[in-house]
Chain A
């Protein structure tokens, strides 16, 4: 029995909101708990409903999706994950939203299965959504960033697992690769997230690239 994933849809285009809600309606384990028309509404609605996942459009009036993502992921770091809605994957906004704390992005042209799967992946947090995209974000050398002290405290095993996470492997795949149990991998991943002070594996990988712990 799956626990229900509560979802908030934030987009300034009502037709997109209605459409996404209708797309998610048949799913047993996903429930749309609210809609928001701009970034400010998204933040207040998140406070009201505390959804598991926020589908967040980037370009919205008043407060844009990046700002709202930053607010939400700072205010409810352990509770709410943000999935950025975008028209084009190579949009500069996507990169900025990921840096602001989004756990992944979702193309508006995705199929129903892709949309629901993306929500489950981000919610479950056991594998990384679009590892290639995260890698590409740092393809061109960005500004040198002062490395988070947590990287220094990673054990050799944790560092190895972080590298595999960055390759997009799920916990089960890492377990198979390293001949350890899934539970062990989960423990290591949790330790990595704690040491790096990040919310999920997407953010761990973003930080690993940004701080040049891993180079693309």
Chain B
């Protein structure tokens, strides 16, 4: 019991010590700002007569300086770091990426910054002036220091020549108050720091939007996993059951080949999903620079045709051969189309790697008028078996292509036997001035009834 109490007390003492350090940083700031104010006002104050007026002018100038410094953007970051490290303040996870630099946020920061310096100054005065003066006063009747003039102010005469006890009482009160300030101020600074530096209503909304987007992305990945891995494992289960119940050895072998193929495909899907989840768990790879409220979750969704080079590089370094034409201006395709285009190319190339032969895959992107045409063709060899309907991943893509008003055709090439061809046409690909579209791609209208697919792949 005793040990825990001691441990708790030690921890609290340490916390208090850190908070004192926080205020001392404020003290340092207050001293520098005060000195600056003093120098800056020197030309004016030199000719001013009453001392107190001069002091008031310096203090006012220092306040203005502090408030102005607090308006600068780095003030908030610095204060946040200090508050987290020294005051133990807690802020919402990842909110610093949502910080906005509007006037509301700046004024709040400025007020807090000034309060921090003031707090530091108060602690300094309490510890170095009020404490000794109070002690001196309280001891005056015995030490006979009637003439003490702290800061040049004759304290005793101010109190009149009343009883000694009044002097003692005032001195003692001064000591108690000064001590209380030094002890208590560090203890109560945490909460106002969280209030003044924490997320503003606007930032809270942005945080909520980001969290919602992230949750949506996680749900999407979970759904994809549920769908694709569940689907693939179902096929494996059914084929394995069939293999067990089939007497002919040749057929069993064919089932096993299918099972191996589907298992590989399930693993690829799983790998992709985990990659997204890992990227999602790493907040710094999330939605780009601060400010884009609701810019939309994870990292796969954000990739566009501009990322095509990276994809091709990755696949080529993995040993895939891809012959292709990618015009440079695909980079300027507007975002929703560009994102969908990327997904289509990625899915098609993945499927080609999964099911195709080792012959090179042809990739052609053409941008004509406002239409983006994506063509991917690869050799699938003679074994028709085990070939799925163009990949489960294309089902979702097909829906979105329809929503964008485009067409998607996948299937064996009629013109060239042994070739598998994907052709997607997306309208709305005409380049427009590069600005972030405010609206996200998520359609608000319900999914229209899927029109009869122009191709049929079985």
A1, CB-defined interface residue at 8 Å: no
A87–B231 touching, CB < 8 Å: yes
Residues in A neighbouring B237, C-beta threshold 8 A: 108-109
Nearest residue, chain A, Cβ from B258? A15
Write the B442-458 contact mask toward A (1 if CB under 8 angstroms, else 0).
Answer: 00000000101100001
Residues in B neighbouring A26, C-beta threshold 8 A: 245
For B452, give its contact among A16, A22, A62 (CB under 8 Å): A62
Provided the pairs A25-B245, A87-B230 are in contact, do residues A19 and B450 lie with their beta carbons within 8 angstroms?
no
User: Shortest distance in angstroms between B319's beta carbon and chain A's nearest beta carbon?
Assistant: 27
For A19, give its contact among B241, B388, B395, B452 (CB under 8 Å): B241
Provided the pairs A13-B231, A15-B388 are in contact, do residues A108 and B458 lie with their beta carbons within 8 angstroms?
no
A16–B230 touching, CB < 8 Å: no
A23, CB-defined interface residue at 8 Å: yes
Residues in A neighbouring B386, C-beta threshold 8 A: 15
Interface set, chain B 193-245, CB cutoff 8 A to A: 226, 230-231, 233-235, 237-239, 241-245
Write the A1-41 contact mask toward B (1 if CB under 8 angstroms, else 0).
Answer: 00000000000111110111111011000000000010000
Write the A98-134 contact mask toward B (1 if CB under 8 angstroms, else 0).
Answer: 0000000000110110010000000000000000000
Provided the pairs A15-B388, A109-B237 are in contact, do residues A22 and B242 lie with their beta carbons within 8 angstroms?
yes
Residues in B neighbouring A15, C-beta threshold 8 A: 235, 238-239, 258, 262, 386, 388
A139, CB-defined interface residue at 8 Å: no
Nearest residue, chain A, Cβ from B262? A15
For B235, give its contact among A16, A37, A111 (CB under 8 Å): A16
Provided the pairs A12-B389, A23-B238, A62-B450 are in contact, do residues A109 and B244 lie with their beta carbons within 8 angstroms?
no
A61, CB-defined interface residue at 8 Å: yes
B313, CB-defined interface residue at 8 Å: no
Report the separation of the CA atoms of residues A62 and B398 in the bound assembly, to the nearest whole angstrom.
12
A16, A21, A22, A109: which has the most chain B beta carbons within 10 Å? A22
B112, CB-defined interface residue at 8 Å: no
Range of interface residues on chain B?
Answer: 20 to 34
B16, CB-defined interface residue at 8 Å: no
A88, CB-defined interface residue at 8 Å: yes
Report the separation of the CA atoms of residues A108 and B245 in the bound assembly, to the nearest whole angstrom.
16
Provided the pairs A14-B458, A15-B388 are in contact, do residues A20 and B242 lie with their beta carbons within 8 angstroms?
yes
For B388, give its contact among A13, A23, A115 (CB under 8 Å): A13
Provided the pairs A13-B389, A88-B226, A88-B230 are in contact, do residues A19 and B242 lie with their beta carbons within 8 angstroms?
yes
User: Shortest distance in angstroms between A47's beta carbon and chain B's nearest beta carbon?
Assistant: 20
B255, CB-defined interface residue at 8 Å: yes
- Number of A residues with CB within 8 Å of any CB on chain B: 23
User: Shortest distance in angstroms between A23's beta carbon and chain B's nearest beta carbon?
Assistant: 5
User: Shortest distance in angstroms between B93's beta carbon and chain A's nearest beta carbon?
Assistant: 32
A112–B389 touching, CB < 8 Å: no
For B453, give its contact among A62, A108, A109 (CB under 8 Å): A62
Residues in B neighbouring A16, C-beta threshold 8 A: 234-235, 238
Provided the pairs A61-B453, A62-B450, A112-B244 are in contact, do residues A19 and B230 lie with their beta carbons within 8 angstroms?
no
Nearest residue, chain B, Cβ from A115? B241
Report the separation of the CA atoms of residues A37 and B457 in the bound assembly, to the nearest whole angstrom.
10
B233, B242, B246: which has the most chain A beta carbons within 10 Å? B242
B241–A111 touching, CB < 8 Å: yes
Write the B67-85 contact mask toward A (1 if CB under 8 angstroms, else 0).
Answer: 0000000000000000000
Report the separation of the CA atoms of residues A12 and B234 in the bound assembly, to the nearest whole angstrom.
13
Report the separation of the CA atoms of residues A148 and B10 in the bound assembly, to the nearest whole angstrom.
73
| Pairs A-B, 9 closest by C-beta atoms | A19-B238, A22-B242, A108-B234, A19-B242, A109-B237, A87-B230, A19-B239, A87-B234, A23-B242
Interface residues, chain B, with chain A CB atoms under 8 Å away:
226, 230-231, 233-235, 237-239, 241-246, 251, 255, 258, 262, 386, 388-389, 395, 450, 452-453, 458
Interface residues, chain A, with chain B CB atoms under 8 Å away:
12-16, 18-23, 25-26, 37, 61-62, 87-88, 108-109, 111-112, 115
Q: Can you identify 8 A-B contacts, CB atoms within 8 angstroms? A: A18-B242, A19-B239, A21-B242, A25-B245, A62-B453, A87-B230, A87-B233, A111-B241
Beyond A19-B235, A20-B238, list 7 extra A-B contacts (CB 8 Å): A13-B389, A19-B239, A19-B242, A23-B241, A87-B231, A108-B237, A112-B241
